[in-house]
Copies of this chain bind each other. A is one copy, B any other.
Amino acid sequence: MSHVSADTSLADTREDDVPWLSADQLRDWQALMGVLMTLLPALDVQLKRDAGVNVFEYHVLAGLSGAPDRALVLSDLAVLAQGSLSRLSHAVTRLERAGWVERRDCVEPGRRVEARLTDAGMAKLEEVAPGHVREVRRLVVDVLTAAQLSTLGEAARAITAATLAGDPEACRDVSDC
């Protein structure tokens, strides 16, 4: 696994021959950085203002809502919501305190715990979703052509694949569980 790559001389911090980006590449990269720096915070603002949850918590609720019996083992949910287990645990604590989620010990092996969306949580999600979707449309979907959005999705999948490569835990889809 960890052997073989051609550039393994990490002890030597000087690996030259890193070609700089072309003017076009730089421009497009900077544009992407702009989105990375501004879009998530903008979505966070809307959700916190109108619903009192942040983006990650929203995705936890949404993830649970689509699961069988509205429940998932925490480590699976962490993968689905794209966060660390620790981050998830903190988030679930907050959501539990609000009454939208509850923890339940699994009967099965190991020290497994599942989070389950309560009825109040489902109601909350249904109340919150339209405003969130509206914002996603306003900031993303509606400002792009269908072709742009499609290419954006393709590119995003390629980037995510590269980003998660070497992190086998984070790679698997929730459908693997």
Residues of B within 8 A of A127 (CB): 10-11, 13
> How many Å lie between the Cα of A158 and that of B27 in the bound state?
14
Q: How far is the CB of A137 from chain B (nearest CB, A)?
A: 8
- Mark the stretch among A30-38, A91-99, A109-117 that contacts chain B: A30-38
Q: Are B82 and A159 in contact (CB under 8 A)?
A: no
Q: Are B152 and A14 in contact (CB under 8 A)?
A: no
Residues of B within 8 A of A130 (CB): 1, 14-16, 18
Q: Are B24 and A150 in contact (CB under 8 A)?
A: yes
Q: Are B159 and A35 in contact (CB under 8 A)?
A: yes
Q: Are B153 and A151 in contact (CB under 8 A)?
A: no
> How many Å lie between the Cα of A154 and that of B39 in the bound state?
15
Decide yes or no whether A67 CB sits under 8 A from chain B. no
* A157 partner, pick from B10, B31, B133, B161, beta carbons under 8 A: B31
Report A16-53 CB contacts with B as 1/0, cut-off 8 Å: 10111100110111011111111110100000001000
Residues of B within 8 A of A39 (CB): 36, 159-160, 163
Closest residue of B by beta carbon distance from A131? B15
Q: Are B151 and A82 in contact (CB under 8 A)?
A: no
Decide yes or no whether A106 CB sits under 8 A from chain B. no
A interface residues with partner B (beta carbon < 8 Å) = 1, 8, 10-11, 13-16, 18-21, 24-25, 27-29, 31-40, 42, 50, 59, 82-83, 122-123, 126-127, 130-131, 133-134, 136-141, 143-144, 147-164, 170
What would 17 more interface pairs be, CB under 8 Å, given A11-B127, A34-B82? A8-B123, A10-B126, A20-B133, A21-B141, A28-B150, A28-B156, A29-B140, A31-B152, A31-B157, A35-B159, A35-B160, A37-B40, A38-B164, A38-B170, A39-B160, A151-B155, A152-B155
